[in-house]
A and B are shown apart, each in its own frame.
Chain A
Amino acid sequence: MLAFLVKRLAEAVGVMLAVALIAFTIFRFVGDPVELMLNEQASQQQRDELRERLGLNRSVPEQYFAFVANAARGDFGISYRNQQDVFPLIAERFPATFELVIVATVLSLLIGLPLGVYTAVHRKSFLAQTLQFLSVLGVSLPSFAVGILLILVFSVTLGWLPAFGRGEVVKFGWWSTGLLTKSGLTALVLPAVTLSFFQITLVMRLVRAEMLEVMRADFIRFARARGLSEPAVQFRHALRNCLMPVITVTGLQIGNLIAFALVTETVFQWPGMGLLFVQAVSFVDIPVMAGYLMVVSAVFVAVNTLVDMTYALVDPRLRVDTVGGGHGR
């Protein structure tokens, strides 16, 4: 296990170095931060001086190595726009994104799993067919459209839920949570539903496909032959054997959701990392963009590692040390 973790850590560093290299190559084409940092009245000399001080005149490899050298010492610089240390700036917003993603993931499992089982078992029923059709919508509707639609219905027309923000938050050290206040919870509903929309349909379709496969397997017939009730067969025996790909996909999607929550965050003014990144891009805030990409690539590697470790727990056959082990089923 230790060797495995060390290997993964090395991989993480490799991924981050590669991401940083690509990022610094791209930053040249994002624009010139100096034109945005100084106002219209600044003279040419002031502009040139600032560009020099920020090190923007240096070549890409120089900028890249300077960044890596500083980052190795834990120094990611300060935001050009907010003038705050990059790492705390991102850390401040991490809880918002993380809670949103976790709630969206839980929602997608709570809704997606039963729907998947239902559509697989009652394949021919009208409701199942309708759900199948709706899931196509779910996969293809862009999340900003879903978000705006939900806002129009639940905030403007019905006035039940807030259209933006995170409500009141409670602080535990550097972590802030909106899960403990009423306004925090109501504020969470629309963004979480929006973010989980695609995910729900994904889980549902995945479970359905797997269930159809598994329901044909011999052990299901045996289970039925043993006189077990149909729900027991479906949920305890069939569904359990479908969970492997669901865990994989859900796990990997957590990384994706964290990275791509930015659309949902922008629509709902959710004060998370994605919103910060979108603003950093529009103001060419290079230290923040670089810092964000580092954090996200680290999260990706960490999530993949966790998923691999969960595998071993869920499916004993994947444990390296159990050679040709028994059937867990």
Chain B
Amino acid sequence: MSMKRNLLAAVAALSMLAGGVAEAKTLKWGAGREIASLDPYSFGETFTLSVLNHVYEGLVRYTGDLKIEPALAESWETVSPTVWRFHLRKGVKFHNGNAFTADDVVASLERVTHPTSPLKGNLPAYKSATKVDDFTVDIEVNGPYPLLLNDLTNIYILDKEWMVANDALLPTDSGKGVENYATRNTNGTGPFKIESRRADAQTVFVVNKDWWDKPVHNIDRIEFTPITSSATRVAAMLSGEIDFTNLAPLQDLPRLTASPDVKVLQSNELRTVYMVFNMKDKLVESDVTDKNPFKDKRVRQALYQAIDADAVQKRVMRGLSRTTGSLVAPAIPGYVPELDKRPPFDLDGAKKLLAEAGYPNGFSFLMNCNNDSLVNEEELCQAVASMWSRAGLKPNLSIAPRAQQTPKRVKGEFDVITFGWATEPMIDTYSLLVQVLHSKSGSAGVFNWAGWGDPRIDELTDKGGVELDPKKRIPMMTEALKIAKDEIMFIPMHQQPMAWAIRSGSVDVMVQSPDNKPRLWLAKVK
């Protein structure tokens, strides 16, 4: 009898358990691509890092509107201009139960800055890290450096004990060809842990009940599925097989909006798109062979004025982009509205300027574009090329996948290119200045592919790069942006559109930040 009762009780308990599981709040996330690996220091890709941020955390993190706030570090101060002291949060546990201490921070920083780490560049100023006590770490930088906190938002902390036990203290060296334990396994401190993973099929995240932070979200389980084909992703959204996608194809937005169950979240991302000139002594492919016409500011101005930005915005970008005269997006420190104005579209003025510069009949040049990198890049190039043709110029278009074009671009084998810069991962004008606008010297100007630059910009960049006071530093960057604008170094086009979609029946709150990164610990499901 009692056995029977026990059995009944067991069945009842089981059914309650099953009921509980059925009510687990699940978010089905259909992403545009698979993450590269579970190791946060493996492949320099912003998207992979943003997904892994649900599992691993840094000393500091961004809020939904991109303000830096404490995460694994509670507070910090500068001990000297080159030494930062971080006070770590106490009582934080890794997913396997290990306690989080200063040793973990030091080991993680050493791992990410190891010579074979592909993410070494994410912490350019790092010199060394020292444990002061169990919950205090000093980070020494190469020189006074204002952007350490920005950089640290992307440097996730791994458990030292776990890395030692699994021989994962060093990052994977692709050249050596040896697999790393952290590639397939995780142990972070973040709001979610990984329950299972089948590459290209599904990665399941479950809530970390012992998270140190008070959760805003109410999600128990995230089923992350990459769906690379955009038509299939849209179909899955419409049929309700996924609740959320962070990559809604722009051409399908009307269809998604038309569905009563789907809500489209549309905004502009941080990436600004420019037309960039070859500024070397001669053009690569042109009927002007003795000099470079782009060195004449009047020519650059003519090209700028010949572009009908409104038409580009309406036709090419389907009314979704934000036309701009600025080299950085509004959310980025250094932006000022005064620099966002464009000269008016003026075809006759452009023709006159070209004639003044000595090219009444225009000239030909090579225009290099990708077809898989920026939003609607191919159409953008065709539209701008035809606008320039109307001003009498003869642009020769070369359009191909990014993987093929990049080697040519890096060598400066172009006369005009499309170029996009989001200032990722530091989200600061300094990134554009030091990596793109600065002349190629030392470690600066990596993306200065064809000899542009201005000594005044170099000077301001170098000075701003060691200025710790934001009140002095940010005006310096704005000043540099103004010089670039006055000189028409680049022609700014627009900030790119970004679009997410949610099923309104399943998702309650979704925070769409301008950096286009999903932060599901801020989301709520129904």
Residues of A within 8 A of B (CB): 29-32, 35-47, 49-50, 53-55, 75, 77-78, 80-85, 89, 92-93, 148, 151-152, 155-156, 159, 162-166, 169, 266-269, 271, 275-276, 278-279, 282-284, 287
Contacts and interface: CB of A to CB of B under 8 A. Distances in A.
A57 to B, nearest CB: 12
Contacts of A276: 200
B119 A39 contact: yes
A155 B241 contact: yes
A163 to B, nearest CB: 5
A249 to B, nearest CB: 29
Interface in B238-258: 238-241
Contacts of B200: 93, 269, 271, 275-276, 279
Contacts of B240: 159
A31 B407 contact: yes
A77 B425 contact: no
A165 B202 contact: yes
B44 A37 contact: yes
A162 B365 CA distance: 50
B178 interface: yes
A85 B179 CA distance: 6
Given A42-B120, A155-B236, A164-B241, 10 more contacts: A31-B402, A35-B410, A39-B119, A39-B122, A43-B446, A55-B175, A148-B235, A269-B201, A269-B232, A271-B199
A53 B174 CA distance: 8
Contact of B404 (A29, A37, A54, A166): A29
A155 B119 CA distance: 41
B392 to A, nearest CB: 35
Interface string B436-450: 000010010011000
B375 to A, nearest CB: 17
Among A35, A37, A46, A169, the most chain B Cβ lie within 10 Å of the Cβ of A46
A45 B121 CA distance: 10
Interface in B102-134: 115-116, 118-122, 124
B172 interface: yes
A78 B177 contact: yes
A83 B115 contact: no
22 contacts: A32-B406, A39-B44, A39-B45, A39-B424, A41-B122, A41-B435, A42-B121, A49-B115, A82-B37, A92-B199, A148-B231, A159-B240, A163-B235, A164-B225, A164-B232, A164-B241, A165-B225, A166-B201, A266-B228, A269-B201, A275-B200, A275-B228
A287 B176 CA distance: 12
B159 interface: no
B155 to A, nearest CB: 12
Contact of B403 (A93, A169, A271, A282): A282
A269 B235 contact: no
The 6 closest A-B pairs by CB, nearest first: A31-B403, A39-B44, A53-B175, A42-B121, A271-B200, A271-B201
B108 to A, nearest CB: 18
Nearest to A53: B175
Given A268-B232, A269-B232, A163 B446 contact: no
B471 interface: no
Contact of B443 (A31, A40, A43, A89): A43
Interface in B37-56: 37, 39, 42-46
A126 B39 CA distance: 62
Contacts of A284: 403
Interface in B16-32: 30
A156 B426 CA distance: 41
Interface in B419-477: 421-422, 424-426, 431, 435, 440, 443, 446-447
A96 B240 CA distance: 24
A40 B201 contact: no
B341 interface: no
Contacts of A156: 235, 238-239
Given A164-B227, A275-B200, A279-B34, A54 B175 contact: yes
Given A39-B44, A39-B424, A31 B120 contact: no
